[in-house]
C-alpha cells in the first residue's frame, strides 16, 4: 500500500489544470447502456472509480478504449448481462447507477445493495421507490435488488423526501425510454445532473426543467449514441482553492467552471482569500491571515458536503471559532480524529463540529478514511510545520486525478512512497 509524504509550510505558486468531474463521468458512462452503438465521451478523468465503473460495464457486455488521454470510446452493442455483483458495488456505491439504464434497455437489472460506507448508512430506497412508480417489480434477495418489468416502463410521478443526486440520475435514465411522461419532484440540482441531461438530450431524450427541482421527462421510442463532454470537477476545484488558502500563495486553476461553486466562493472570500473568476479559470491568492466562518452543508447550490472536510482543515488555521454543520451524511467527521493528531482543536457534537482555530498545524502520521477526508489531510499536510505521512491513499486515487503531480507542479514538497 502506498503513502503520501508531505513536507509542509511552502506556499503554492503556478497553475493547476482541473480534470473532468468524477461524479459526472460515472452516470454518463452508465447512460451508454441505454442504446446500442458507439458513444464518445471527452474529458474523462483518470481515476480508480472510473476504472471500477468500466470493469462493471465490461461484465455487462460493453467494450471500451481510451483514445488520447481523456477520451473514452464505449461500444454498447452487446449488452446482454444485467447483474452488478457485490464485489464491484462494495468498492463503489455509484455502481447502482446501472440499475436505471439496464431496466430501461433489458427490462431486468440485478444489482447488489451497496450497504453502509465510511460516511453513513446511505440507503437506496429513493431509487427503488422511483423504479416501482415506473412500473418495475422489485425483490430483495440475498443482498441483491432484482428489478424487472414486463414490456416497457411507464411514466409516473416521483417525489424525493431529500434531493438525492444518484436517485435523480437513475430515475432520469430509466424514464427517458418509458411510455408517457415522468415527473420528478424535489429533484437534485447539482451541475452533474445538468451534464447528464445534456447528454441524454443529445441522444434524443425529451427532458424539461434542467437545473430546476422539478424535472419532466417525456419518454421517447428510441435513442441514438452521441458525443459528450464531462464538465470540470467542482470538488477538485474547491479542494485546490482550499489548499492554496491553507498553504498560502498564488495559483490559477484552469479548465474549471467557477459558476459551479457559488457557496464555496462566498465562504472563501469571507475567509480572507482573494478570488478572481474568469469564464473557465480562477485565480486564488492568500496573502494575509485567515478569518473564521461557519458552514452548513446543503444540497446544491448550498455548500457541498464533499468540501466540508477540506474547509474544516482551513478553519483549524484561523485564530477564531467556527461551527460546521454536516446536514447530508450522518457520519462525515472521520477526518476530525486525524486532524486532532496534527494539533487541531475540534469538538464534535452530533452533526456539528466546533473548530477552535490555533493558527497552525503540526505534521504527523495520519490515516486516510474516505475520499474527501483524505483530501483534507493532504491540505493539512501542506499547511503544517514538519512532515506529514498519509497512509491508505487508495481513497485519494478514487477521486483525485494525479494529485501528487498537480501539487508538485505548484511547488509543494509532496511524494508518494511504498509503505
Ligand atoms: C452523491 C455524490 C457524492 C455526494 C452526495 C451528496 C455521486 C456519485 N456521488 O452521492 O459524492 O457526497 O451526492 O452531494 O454523485 N438518501 C436516502 N435514500 C436514498 C438516497 C439518498 O435517504 O435512496 C439520502 C442520503 O443518505 C443522504 C441524502 O439522501 O443523506 C443525499 O444523498 P445522495 O444525494 O443520494 O448522495 P449520492 O447520490 O449517493
Residues 16-73 have pLDDT tens digits of 999 999 999 999 999 999 999 999 999 999 999 999 999 999 999 999 999 988 999 9
Residue 344 confidence (pLDDT) above 70:
yes
User: What is the three-class DSSP state of 120?
Assistant: strand
Number of neighbours of residue 10 by Cβ within 10 angstroms? 17
Distance from residue 268's CA to the centre of ligand 1 (Å): 25
Question: Is 98's C-beta closer than 6 angstroms to any atom of ligand 1?
Answer: no
Which residue's alpha carbon is at the smallest distance from atom 3 of ligand 1? 306
Q: Return the pLDDT at 116.
A: 57
Tell me, yes or no, whether 221 and 238 share the same domain: no
- 137 plus 273 within the same structural domain: no
**Whose CA is closest to 175, among 157, 155, 193?**
155
For ligand 1, the distance from its centroid to the CA atom of residue 326, given in whole angstroms, is: 13
How many helices (H) and strands (E) in the chain?
14, 24
Do 255 and 271 lie in one domain? The reply is yes
Q: Examine the fold and report which residue of 180, 211, 229 is the final residue of a domain before the chain moves on.
A: 229
User: What average pLDDT does the structure give for the chain?
Assistant: 95
* Ligand 1 within 6 A of CB of 318: no
Give percent of the chain above pLDDT 90. Answer: 89
State the total domains in the chain: 2
pTM above 0.85? Answer: yes
Name the residue at shortest CA distance from atom 26 of ligand 1: 122
Which mutation among 89, 123, 166 tests ligand 1's pocket best, with the greatest number of atoms within 8 A of CB?
166
Distance of CA 214 to the CA centre of its chain: 22
**Which of 206, 229, 252 is the endpoint of a domain?**
229
Q: Is 144 in the pocket of ligand 1 (CB under 6 A)?
A: no
Q: Residue 127: CB within 6 Å of ligand 1?
A: yes
Residue that is last in its domain, among 229, 248, 267? 229
CB-based contact 322:292 (threshold 8 Å): yes
Ligand 1 near 47 CB (within 6 A): no
- 218, 331: one domain: no
pLDDT tens readout for residues 112-170:
988 656 666 678 999 999 999 999 999 988 889 999 999 999 999 999 999 999 999 99
Query: DSSP secondary-structure letter at 183?
Result: E
305 pocket-lining for ligand 1 (C-beta < 6 Å): yes
H or E element that contains 202:
helix 191-202
- The count of other CB atoms within 10 Å of the CB of residue 77 is 12
Task: Answer whether residue 396 shows pLDDT above 70.
Answer: yes
Whether residue 273 sits in one domain with residue 382: yes
Q: Which residues contact 115 (CB under 8 A, 6 or more apart)?
A: 90, 143
C-alpha cell, 397: 486515487
The alpha carbon of 114 and the centre of ligand 1 are apart by a number of angstroms equal to 12
**Ligand 1 centroid to residue 164 C-alpha, Å:** 5
Contact call for residues 273 and 248 (beta carbons, < 8 A): no
Whether 370 lines ligand 1, by a CB cut-off of 6 Å, is no
pLDDT-based confidence at 407, cuts 50/70/90?
very high
| pLDDT at residue 114, as a whole number | 81
Instruction: Give yes or no for a contact between 348 and 309, defined as CB atoms under 8 angstroms apart.
Output: no
Whether residues 13 and 65 fall in one domain:
no
226 contacts 235 by C-beta, under 8 angstroms: no
The residue to mutate among 53, 165, 193, 196, having the most atoms of ligand 1 within 8 angstroms of its beta carbon, is 165
Environment class of residue 238 by beta-carbon count within 10 Å: exposed (0-12), middle (13-18) or buried (19+)? buried
Atom of ligand 1 nearest to the CA of 128: 23
Atom of ligand 1 nearest to the CA of 329: 30
**Closest ligand 1 atom number to CA of residue 126:** 23
- Tell whether 176 and 264 lie within a shared domain: no
Question: Is 162 close to ligand 1, i.e. is its CB under 6 Å away?
Answer: yes
331 and 198 in a common domain: no
Same domain, 157 and 264: no
Residue range(s) defining the domain that contains residue 38:
22-229
Q: Above 90 in pLDDT, residue 212?
A: yes
The catalytic position among 35, 117, 226, 256 is 117
Is 25 near ligand 1, meaning CB less than 6 Å away? Answer: no
Coil, strand or helix: which one is 108?
strand
Above 80 in pLDDT, residue 262? yes
Give yes or no: residues 62 and 86 share one domain. Answer: yes
> Cα of 330 to ligand 1 centre, how many Å?
12
Q: What is the pLDDT of residues 374-383, one digit of tens each?
A: 999 999 999 9
Of 45 and 394, more confident: 45
Residue 51: give its domain's CATH number: 3.65.10.10
According to the 3-state scheme, what is the secondary structure of 243-293?
HHHHHCEEEEEECCCHHHCHHHHHHHHHCCCEEEECCCEEEEEECCCCCCC
Same-domain pairing of 8 and 42: no
Render the burial of 340-353: b for 16+ CB within 10 Å, e for the rest.
ebbbbebeeeebeb
Statement to judge: residues 193 and 290 lie in one domain:
no
Share of the chain above pLDDT 70, in %: 98
126 lines ligand 1 (CB under 6 A): yes
| CA distance readout (Å), 52 to 97, 222, 240, 348, 397 | 13, 28, 25, 34, 12
pLDDT at 316 over 60: yes
117 given a catalytic annotation: yes
Amino acid at each position: 500500500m502506498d503513502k503520501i509524504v508531505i513536507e509542509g509550510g511552502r506556499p503554492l505558486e503556478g497553475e493547476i489544470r482541473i480534470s473532468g468531474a468524477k461524479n459526472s463521468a460515472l452516470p454518463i458512462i452508465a447512460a451508454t447502456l441505454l442504446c446500442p452503438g458507439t458513444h464518445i465521451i471527452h474529458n474523462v478523468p483518470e481515476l480508480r472509480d472510473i476504472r471500477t465503473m468500466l470493469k462493471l460495464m465490461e461484465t455487462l457486455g460493453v467494450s471500451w478504449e481510451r483514445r488520447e488521454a481523456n477520451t473514452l470510446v464505449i461500444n454498447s452493442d452487446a449488452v446482454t448481462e444485467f447483474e452488478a455483483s457485490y464485489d464491484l458495488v462494495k468498492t463503489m456505491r455509484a455502481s447502482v447507477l446501472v440499475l436505471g439504464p439496464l431496466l430501461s434497455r433489458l427490462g431486468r437489472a440485478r444489482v447488489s445493495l451497496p450497504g453502509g460506507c465510511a460516511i453513513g448508512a446511505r440507503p437506496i430506497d429513493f431509487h427503488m421507490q422511483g423504479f416501482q412508480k415506473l412500473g418495475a417489480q422489485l425483490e430483495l434477495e440475498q443482498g441483491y435488488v432484482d428489478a424487472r418489468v414486463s414490456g416497457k416502463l411507464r411514466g409516473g410521478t416521483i417525489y424525493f423526501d431529500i434531493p438525492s443526486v444518484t436517485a435523480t440520475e437513475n430515475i432520469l435514465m430509466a424514464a427517458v425510454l418509458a411510455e408517457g411522461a415522468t415527473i420528478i419532484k424535489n429533484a437534485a440540482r447539482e451541475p452533474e445532473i445538468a451534464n447528464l441531461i445534456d447528454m441524454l438530450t443529445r441522444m434524443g431524450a425529451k427532458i424539461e426543467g434542467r437545473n430546476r427541482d422539478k424535472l419532466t421527462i417525456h419518454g421517447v421510442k428510441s435513442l441514438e449514441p452521441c458525443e459528450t463532454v464531462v464538465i470540470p470537477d467542482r470538488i477538485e476545484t474547491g479542494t485546490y482553492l482550499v489548499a492554496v488558502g491553507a498553504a498560502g500563495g498564488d495559483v490559477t486553476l484552469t479548465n474549471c467552471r467557477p459558476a459551479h461553486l457559488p457557496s464555496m466562493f462566498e465562504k472563501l472570500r469571507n475567509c480572507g482569500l482573494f478570488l478572481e473568476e474568469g469564464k473557465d479559470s480562477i485565480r486564488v491568492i492568500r496573502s494575509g491571515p485567515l478569518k473564521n466562518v461557519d458552514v452548513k452543508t446543503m444540497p446544491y447550490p448550498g455548500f457541498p458536503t464533499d468540501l466540508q472536510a477540506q474547509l474544516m482543515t482551513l478553519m483549524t488555521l484561523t485564530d477564531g471559532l467556527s461551527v460546521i454543520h454536516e446536514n447530508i451524511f450522518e457520519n462525515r467527521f472521520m477526518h476530525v480524529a486525524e486532524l486532532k493528531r496534527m494539533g487541531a482543536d475540534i469538538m464534535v457534537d452530533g452533526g456539528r463540529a466546533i473548530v477552535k482555530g490555533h493558527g497552525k498545524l503540526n505534521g504527523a502520521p495520519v490515516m486516510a478514511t474516505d475520499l474527501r477526508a483524505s483530501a483534507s489531510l493532504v491540505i493539512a499536510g501542506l499547511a503544517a510545520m514538519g512532515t506529514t505521512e498519509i497512509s491508505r491513499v487508495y481513497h485519494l486515487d478514487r477521486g483525485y486525478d494525479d494529485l501528487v503531480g498537480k501539487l508538485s507542479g505548484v511547488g509543494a514538497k509532496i511524494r508518494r512512497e511504498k509503505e
